[in-house]
Amino acid sequence: MATFQASLRTITGEGVSLSELVVRLNRYATAHSLDGRRFTTALLAEYEPTTHRLEYVNAGHNNPILRRKDGSIERLEIGVFLLALSSIQNFKSALRI
């Protein structure tokens, strides 16, 4: 997990998009999965305050819960896969908040 976190810090420091970040993290996790015997879960999100847009990727975690400004709660149920074990083709979910 420490090397995965280091990869996350390195890649995010390069200013890549969320989709590119997930592709590169999946590539790293696959290369270090011990032929599929290890996998990684993660929840990665990016919020753009000027457009009120939240983009997230749920890679194997329980569904995240969003608490809106008015106090209402919403479970974000889209987009679940495991890094290193899943095809990366349809991984991203985007919501307008």
Q: Does domain 2-96 have CATH number 3.40.50.300?
A: no
At 45-91, the pLDDT tens digits run: 888 899 988 888 887 778 889 898 899 998 887 655 555 444 444 44
Taking the domains of the chain in order of start, what are their residue ranges?
2-96
Structure tokens at 26: 């999946």
pLDDT, one tens digit per residue, over 21-51 is: 888 888 887 777 677 667 778 888 888 899 9
Q: 37 in the Ramachandran plot: left (φ > 0), alpha (ψ -120 to 50) or beta?
A: alpha
CA 88 – CA 73 distance, rounded (Å): 29
